[in-house]
Amino acid sequence: MCGIAGFFNPFEHYSDSSLHYNDILNRMNLVQKHRGPDDDGTYLSDTFAFAHVRLSIIDLSGGHQPMTRTYYSSNYTIVYNGELYNTDELKSDLKAKGHTFQTTCDTEVILIGFIEYGPDFVKKLNGIFAFAIADERTNELYLFRDRFGIKPLYYTHMNDTVIFSSEIKGIFEHPFVKPQLDISGLNEIFSIGPAKTPGVGVFKNIDEVLPGYFCKCSKDGLTLHQYWKLEAHEHSDSLEETIEKTSYLVQDSIKRQMVSDIPICTFLSGGVDSSLVSAICSNELKKKNKQLATFSFDFVNNNRYFKSNHFQPSQDRPWVEKMVKFLDSNHIYLECDKLSLADKLTDSVNAHDLPAMADVDSSMLYFCSLVKQYNAVTLTGECADEIFGGYPWFHKEECFHANTFPWTMNLEPRKTLLKEDFIHELNMEEYVDAAYKNSIQETPRLEGENQTEVRRREISYLNIKWFMQTLLTRMDRCSMYSGLEARVPFADHRLVEYVFNVPWSMKFHNGVVKSLLRESAAGLLPEEILYRKKSPYPKTYDPGYESLLAKKLIEVIEEPSSPILQFIDKTKVYFFINTPSDYGLPWYGQLMAAPQLIAYMLMINYWLLKYDTKILI
């Protein structure tokens, strides 16, 4: 993968001050160098300024960016972050129309496809991507983002200038932009976080290109265009046909995403999702007499401290061992200790430019840094639960009927440490309710469906739009912080479009959670793996970790200059720290309970310090 950045003003003459503007571009590249350690470049014309850092995966020698092609005396330039999985089909079509190619990389295919078809060419792409194209014939900038927001793209529009970057930190390198936070941004952190309202950049005046959208920027301003959305359709396939088609789509997506000029690996937890991805990759590599590399994650002494609960019924290690034997993979067990876990909380903020999923995030960042020592491309099992209905809130009555986000049904735990006047000013309930209702209103529906089926569509849509986006963001930032490319084959738009419209009776056939995925994987996995009860991403249960966090938070609140003191109550903090923790009652998702609330507050304090953010309330 890569990092992109740049700026555009249709009324400017950047080339008249090239030293100044190239310096900005170089700084944008420098702060995102972790996303692309192998190469970098810049491009400057009168109205366009592009920067790019590259992680070389395809066409290692020929894929330098920014990439420019000239047609009929006009330049077209692209900076691109992503991977296409239908490059060969697209290239064949373009060759048939008379185009020639100088490289074998997908970047050139996108650029020439844009020249041939215009911005609608994005509809033909199967992949994960965020890219910018400068059309100097029309003096227009286009910003594109993939259908599920797997790859990030932030922007701001001020003083006729559009500034964009893969990560927010790149935008802050432009002198026009300063970190500011208003009441909406504070609600994103304290009321919604670690999720984020789609399209919102949290910092004031910073937005994110919405998944399935592109922006057109010209002398007439900036306009948003939706090129893809989920739709509701009648499902006419029989159960047998549905299983067969699902099996094809899953396997085709995984096989397509194995494309690479360097070796790939997989993350393996011993659950059905990662095991299926690993099994298909292993089978394909064995055809070439190659062995798959797999990695699993856990915490030091977790076998001693693990506490089984409703959300996390079992440890992964025994199941991983079964799969390693089944696959005959080259497996490496990775562990994280409590000190590294706590220390990496700040790195997680550095990676996201925002507070993130506490140690659920910092541990993934740590593990990705270790995997990168062996491989630069991995496939993961992310997104299967959102698509096939694996989470508890698809099944539990109180979650299913909750008139709010089912992964955060009670906002009271979020208020536990906050000052009363700040709680009043936030008005959490109103902010969350508005965000929830906006998503409910846009849920695709079919006429004639009963209320139960309507609600099932709503739950599915909320998961795809919100919860899946949070985990995709986590995977991108954690992996790219170490220059590791993580691919998510379950987020193939063809698969999501199909499964979204499959009736619940087929997804939950015979009362089995994720039965459609399990039945579509029959014969590819051992039966005990195929029907293993879901256990989410691991977290530490070491009481010493929570003690370590508590000590750090006390140090923060006893430091008078700590910015988080504007928002949290010291008395409440001491009471909370001295109260026994409940590891089984999360305040977000399935894993974020009391220790993670402490970690999240530490992240917020560090984040406010790092950016010297101006609070506008």
Q: Do 188 and 86 belong to one domain?
A: yes
Q: How confident is the model at residue 304 (pLDDT cuts 50, 70, 90)?
A: confident
Domain boundary among 196, 226, 256: 226
In the three-class reduction of DSSP (H, G, I as helix; E, B as strand; rest coil), residue 132 is classed as strand
Measured distance CA(76)–CA(123) in Å, rounded = 19
Q: Do 147 and 262 belong to one domain?
A: no
In a domain, 310, yes or no: no
Q: Which of 135, 132, 133, 123 is nearest to 71 (CA)?
A: 135
Q: Which of 329, 203, 185, 192 is nearest to 265 (CA)?
A: 329
The count of other CB atoms within 10 Å of the CB of residue 179 is 21
Measured distance CA(227)–CA(98) in Å, rounded = 26
DSSP letters for 402-461: -SS-TT----HHHHTTB-HHHHHHHTHHHHHHHHHHHHHHT----TT--HHHHHHHHHHH
Q: Do 175 and 277 belong to one domain?
A: no
What's the sign of the alpha-carbon dihedral 391, 394, 400, 405? positive
For the cut 70, the answer to whether the pLDDT of residue 29 exceeds it is yes
Which whole-number Å values give the CA distances from 479 to 255, 299, 344, 361, 372, in the listed order?
21, 19, 13, 11, 8
Q: Do 109 and 35 belong to one domain?
A: yes
Q: Which of 199, 170, 211 is nearest to 4 (CA)?
A: 170
Strands 264-267 and 293-299: parallel
In a domain, 314, yes or no: no
For the cut 60, the answer to whether the pLDDT of residue 311 exceeds it is no
Residue with tokens 């286009």, as numbered in its chain? 142
In the three-class reduction of DSSP (H, G, I as helix; E, B as strand; rest coil), residue 587 is classed as coil
Which two structure tokens, joined as six digits, stand for 438? 């906006």
In the three-class reduction of DSSP (H, G, I as helix; E, B as strand; rest coil), residue 375 is classed as coil
Q: At what angle do helices 338-352 and 468-480 cross, to 10 degrees?
A: 100
Residue-level pLDDT at 265? 98
Q: Does residue 204 come out as left (phi exceeding 0), alpha (psi in the -120 to 50 range) or beta? A: beta
Measured distance CA(569)–CA(550) in Å, rounded = 15
Tell me the pLDDT of the chain averaged across its residues: 94
Q: Do 364 and 387 belong to one domain?
A: yes
Q: Which of 481, 466, 519, 455 is nearest to 241 (CA)?
A: 519
- Interval 54-79 mean pLDDT: 86
CATH of the domain at 483: 3.40.50.620
Measured distance CA(534)–CA(143) in Å, rounded = 38
Measured distance CA(459)–CA(405) in Å, rounded = 9
Measured distance CA(530)–CA(233) in Å, rounded = 29
For the cut 60, the answer to whether the pLDDT of residue 235 exceeds it is yes
Residue-level pLDDT at 61? 67
The question of whether 2 is a catalytic residue gets the answer yes
In the three-class reduction of DSSP (H, G, I as helix; E, B as strand; rest coil), residue 121 is classed as helix
DSSP letters for 229-261: ----------HHHHHHHHHHHHHHHHHHTT--S
Measured distance CA(250)–CA(558) in Å, rounded = 52
Residue-level pLDDT at 465? 97
In a domain, 312, yes or no: no
In a domain, 307, yes or no: no
- Residue 237 is assigned to a ligand binding site: no
Considering only 226-230, 337-341, 529-533, 540-544, which range has the smallest mean pLDDT? 540-544
In a domain, 538, yes or no: no
Q: Do 80 and 42 belong to one domain?
A: yes
Residue with tokens 């004639």, as numbered in its chain? 448
Phi and psi torsions of 48, nearest 5°: -120, 140
Residue-level pLDDT at 261? 83
Q: DSSP secondary-structure letter at 124?
A: G
Q: How confident is the model at residue 362 (pLDDT cuts 50, 70, 90)?
A: very high
Residue-level pLDDT at 228? 98
Q: What is the pLDDT of residues 417-475, one digit of tens each?
A: 999 999 999 999 999 999 999 999 999 999 989 999 999 999 999 999 999 999 999 99
Q: Are 262 and 280 in contact (CB under 8 A)?
A: no
- Interval 237-252 mean pLDDT: 98
Buried b (16+ CB within 10 A) or exposed e, 121-160: bbeebbbbbbbbbbbbeebbbbbbbbbbbbbbbbbbbeee
- Interval 78-100 mean pLDDT: 96
In a domain, 304, yes or no: no
- Interval 376-396 mean pLDDT: 94
Q: How confident is the model at residue 307 (pLDDT cuts 50, 70, 90)?
A: low
Q: How confident is the model at residue 395 (pLDDT cuts 50, 70, 90)?
A: confident
Q: What is the pLDDT of residues 120-139, one digit of tens each?
A: 999 999 999 999 999 999 99
Q: Which of 379, 380, 389 is nearest to 516 (CA)?
A: 389
Q: Do 406 and 484 belong to one domain?
A: yes
Q: How confident is the model at residue 315 (pLDDT cuts 50, 70, 90)?
A: confident
Measured distance CA(58)–CA(407) in Å, rounded = 38
- Interval 228-252 mean pLDDT: 97
Measured distance CA(48)–CA(6) in Å, rounded = 8
**SS (HEC) of 318-372:** HHHHHHHHHHCCEEEEEEECHHHHHHHHHHHHHHHCCCCCHHHHHHHHHHHHHHC
Q: At what angle do helices 594-611 and 338-352 cross, to 10 degrees?
A: 50
Print the domain residue range for 468. 239-298+326-531
For the cut 70, the answer to whether the pLDDT of residue 58 exceeds it is no
Q: Are 361 and 608 in contact (CB under 8 A)?
A: no
Q: Do 526 and 550 belong to one domain?
A: no
For the cut 70, the answer to whether the pLDDT of residue 301 exceeds it is yes
Q: Do 156 and 289 belong to one domain?
A: no
Q: Do 262 and 152 belong to one domain?
A: no
Q: Do 420 and 370 belong to one domain?
A: yes
In a domain, 317, yes or no: no
Total domains in the fold of the chain = 3
Strands 161-165 and 207-208: unpaired
Domain boundary among 226, 256, 290: 226
* 18 vs 579, higher pLDDT: 18
Q: How confident is the model at residue 584 (pLDDT cuts 50, 70, 90)?
A: low
Q: In what order do the strands lie in the sheet with 2-8?
A: 39-44, 48-54, 2-8, 161-165, 154-158, 207-208
Tell me the one-letter amino acid at 79: V
Considering only 211-220, 300-309, 510-519, which range has the smallest mean pLDDT? 300-309
In the three-class reduction of DSSP (H, G, I as helix; E, B as strand; rest coil), residue 606 is classed as helix
Measured distance CA(359)–CA(344) in Å, rounded = 8
Tell me the one-letter amino acid at 482: S
| Set 2, 215, 281, 336: catalytic member | 2
- Interval 336-349 mean pLDDT: 96
- Interval 218-222 mean pLDDT: 97
Measured distance CA(344)–CA(358) in Å, rounded = 9
Q: Do 376 and 507 belong to one domain?
A: yes
For the cut 60, the answer to whether the pLDDT of residue 583 exceeds it is no
Buried b (16+ CB within 10 A) or exposed e, 494-504: ebbebbbbbbb
* 546 vs 305, higher pLDDT: 546
For the cut 70, the answer to whether the pLDDT of residue 312 exceeds it is no
Residue-level pLDDT at 313? 63
In the three-class reduction of DSSP (H, G, I as helix; E, B as strand; rest coil), residue 462 is classed as helix
In a domain, 293, yes or no: yes
- Interval 99-109 mean pLDDT: 94
Q: Which of 360, 392, 210, 380 is nearest to 295 (CA)?
A: 380
First to last CA, the chain: 38
Q: Which of 165, 155, 139, 193 is nearest to 13 (CA)?
A: 139
Domain boundary among 202, 226, 250: 226
